[in-house]
Amino acid sequence: MKTVSENVFKFFKRLEQNNNRDWFNEHKKEFKAVEKDIKGFYNSVLETLKTHDDVDKLKIFRIYRDVRFSKNKLPYKTHFGGTFHRVKPQLRGGYYIHIQPNNESFIATGFWEPNPADLLRIRKEFEMDASDMRDILNDKTFKTIWGELVGDEVKTAPKGFSKDHENIDLIKKKQYIFIKKYTDTQVLDASFIDDVNVAFKAIRPYFNYMSDVLTTDLNGESLI
């Protein structure tokens, strides 16, 4: 099973101290080597995911930063990020793996930017009944692995919803994300890919629930 090479962290630590085009171009060969290594890791995760979920696409983000509208003009990212997309329209949700030195690595799952129609559908579901979602969030095994639901939210209540609703904590969210953090030691360990796979398997009740919500109307009639 593919592991993350320590050379990935070593390269990024040096890049943090030399985040400029001249240095990067001088060390392009070194970057290509760690990029090849990390692609191997992400593809191993993809193959593992495919044994228990329908995943049709892996996207590894480029190292080049888009600085056009950013105050931070450093040209390069100091991490690798990759997303795994489930087969739509039946299956919703996605997986993300972030590899960064200094104990900044993490995996994430859920819904980063639901489109307006999906976001409204999710909120309407919680307005009607959030008991199934609460059961998932309160499951001991699930909570041990993934902790609490996180994500941006509005300050009080979205337009058309009561700020006093019993499920306003869920309704006011704009994102529905779970994050699991890792130390450098954990990432470099041979068991890392297995731990990631266990966590991704554990998210399935949440994905199954949200996929059901987003492929039906409030009456439970299929939309696909």
Question: Each residue of 123-154: pLDDT tens digit?
Answer: 999 999 999 999 999 999 999 999 999 999 99
Mean residue pLDDT of the chain comes to 96
pLDDT of 1 reads 56
Question: Each residue of 179-188: pLDDT tens digit?
Answer: 999 999 999 9
What is the C-alpha R_g of the chain?
A: 20
Residues 197-201: what's their mean pLDDT?
A: 98
Residues 31-45: what's their mean pLDDT?
A: 97
Q: Euclidean distance between the first and final Cα of the chain, in Å?
A: 37
pLDDT of 189 reads 97
Which residue would you say has higher pLDDT here, 16 or 67? Answer: 16
Q: What is the pTM of this model?
A: 0.94
Confidence of residue 70 (pLDDT cuts 50, 70, 90): confident
pLDDT of 2 reads 85
Domain segments of the chain as ranges? 1-108+200-210
pLDDT of 143 reads 97
Indicate whether 69 pLDDT > 60. Answer: yes
User: 16, 209 in Cβ contact below 8 A?
Assistant: no
Confidence of residue 210 (pLDDT cuts 50, 70, 90): very high
pLDDT of 71 reads 85
Render the burial of 46-80: b for 16+ CB within 10 Å, e for the rest: bebbeeebebeebebeebeeeeeeeeeeeebbbbb
CA-angle at 77, arms to 74 and 83, nearest 5°: 150
Indicate whether 115 pLDDT > 90. Answer: yes
pLDDT of 11 reads 98
pLDDT of 72 reads 87
Distance CA 117, CA 1 (A): 40
For residue 191, give the amino acid letter: S
Burial class (CB in 10 A: 0-12, 13-18, 19+), 168: buried
Indicate whether 173 pLDDT > 60. Answer: yes
Cβ contacts of 62-67, under 8 Å, gap ≥ 24: 63/31, 63/35
